[in-house]
Structure 1
Amino acid sequence: MAVSVLFRVWRRPFLVLCCAFFIVACESMPKPMRNLGKTDVDFVMDVHVKEQKELLMELTRKMYVRNPDQLKKLDDMTIEDRMLQMFGRHDDIELPSLVFEELGGKTGIEAILLSFDESFQGDRVFAAMVGLTEMLRRSYNHQQEFFILDSLDEQALYNSARNIEVFVWRLYQRKNSQDELFLLTNHVTDGEFDTSFDRIFAKMTMIQDMMALIVADKTNRSITKVAQGVAQFVFLPIP
């Protein structure tokens, strides 16, 4: 009887420990073998995170094309250099750190705010994209791939979706003392209005909202939703 009781007490921690070792081992396995440590939800999360990264890269390129003066603030800097700093190489396992001396060590929401600070003389596109990218990475626990024991915070995902909307509003509304937008986005070309930025932002927001719903359903937890008017457009914390 004593042996039976001890087995029941230790069985769950033992199984959890075994699963943890299995997941760690999965990360160094070839992809077909790693997939054994995934649920259907994990596969869905992997796809969403990959798509979000592609959208961030596309947005970064477009922002620099639309604001070429920002890239010129550093000698010999190219779009590819900036992309490498933020996203690393395609085959990199680890994500690059998004803390940079030229931004005063600010990242996440603080870096986004820096891009709209009139006293800031640096590359505003870099500050904005470093901040946006880091904010979204935090909502994913800085992970690029997910396994059985991994868990995300549905509130962080929801808040990050709202923060994208706040970021977009600031892009379109915030101006300097010369009544000029800090960063340019949508514009009219040959009489046609370019809304490609809007489409990217809409996709990014949709991905975060979808991830929040998936995680909330998986964990059986609820999301605290926030009602915001334009006058209340402030960035929400990422738990």
Structure 2
Amino acid sequence: MSPARHLRCVALVWAWMWAWVLVGCAATPAPKGEVTSAPTTAAELGQSDVNRMATLGMRANLDSLMSLADKLYRRNPREWRKGGATGREEALQRLRVAIEQRQPWPALQGRRDIAALALALSPDFAADRVAAFIAATADMVIVAHGGKTEFYLIDSLDAQSLYNAARNVEIAVWMLAQRRDASGQPLLLADEIGAQTRNLSFEREFGKVVARLDLLAAVSAEKYRRAVVSYVQNLLGGTLLQFLPVRAVVAP
């Protein structure tokens, strides 16, 4: 084969390979969504970086819990019917309002925090278990944050409470998967692993909540140590870490 023909063959092979690469890229689903920041407000002037992180984390956790409520209602439509709602959307709206306004959920009989969570996961609980479970979990998370959903300079977070909340979510997820009602059925249908189906979206969403709580707990535990480190850094920066002039001063 002549050198010229050899080069043409190589070029054709490369063109064919790149064509397949481009086809593969076109067939691959594009990433969904993008990172966006919330509009700046005057209230942020009263927030430290940790305050802002806690506020955003709380917002994300409540959104995750509402997403889980939606998923659970889809797999367990009998539950929203127990609450008298005309549809899943109405049931979700009622639940969101109750959580955001810190209203006690009627079926939980006045119980809050982990007491409410225990009742919602009781095998003989007869009311809307999805709403009770999500409302109780949200309440427990908010209680771990000192009963607040927005945080400012005057607020403080207890690292151990946040850590305990993360463990409580893990325990609740395990109980949801393992416990059975009086008829031997799971309390709620959630994750599914079968020969034809594999759905672990519930576990992933709960995992996000746990991860956010653990991260905030770790940051809160280091708050005072980092304050000392920052003070020393500023002190050193004011005296030792200053740039030196590079141009010689010429005497007149």
Q: Distance in 1 between matches of 2:182 and 2:106?
A: 27
Match in the other structure for 1:110: 115
- Are the equivalent residues in 1 in contact too, given 2:124–2:181 (CA < 8 A)? no
Output the TM-score relative to the length of structure 2: 0.68
After superposition, give the CA deviation of every residue in 1:81-109 in whole Å (9 maximum; x if it has no partner).
333333229xxxx9313413333222322
Tell me, which stretches of 5 or more residues in structure 2 are unaligned?
Answer: 1-38, 227-252
Match in the other structure for 2:153: 148
Match in the other structure for 1:69: 78
Tell me, which stretches of 5 or more residues in structure 1 are unaligned?
Answer: 1-29, 222-239
Residue 215 of structure 1 pairs with residue 224 of structure 2: no
Question: Identity across aligned pairs (percent)?
Answer: 30
Residue 43 (structure 1) shift? 1.9
Residue 79 of structure 1 pairs with residue 88 of structure 2: yes
Question: How large is the RMSD of aligned CA atoms in angstroms?
Answer: 2.4
Match in the other structure for 1:10: none
Residue 175 and residue 101 in structure 1: after superposition, are their counterparts in 2 closer, same or farther (change >3 A)?
A: same
Q: Distance in 2 between matches of 1:128 and 1:187?
A: 19
**1:137 maps to which of 136, 142, 163:** 142
- Are the equivalent residues in 2 in contact too, given 1:103–1:111 (CA < 8 A)? yes
- Are the equivalent residues in 1 in contact too, given 2:193–2:199 (CA < 8 A)? yes
- Are the equivalent residues in 2 in contact too, given 1:154–1:212 (CA < 8 A)? yes
Q: Distance in 1 between matches of 2:104 and 2:141?
A: 15
**2:186 maps to which of 181, 185, 197:** 181
The total of aligned residue pairs comes to 188
After superposition, give the CA deviation of every residue in 1:112-163 in whole Å (9 maximum; x if it has no partner).
2222323322111111111101000111223222211211111110000000
The structure number with the bigger radius of gyration is 2
Residue 42 and residue 181 in structure 1: after superposition, are their counterparts in 2 closer, same or farther (change >3 A)?
A: same
Residue 178 (structure 1) shift? 2.5
Q: What is the identity, as a one-letter code, of the residue corresponding to 1:147?
A: Y
Match in the other structure for 1:95: 100
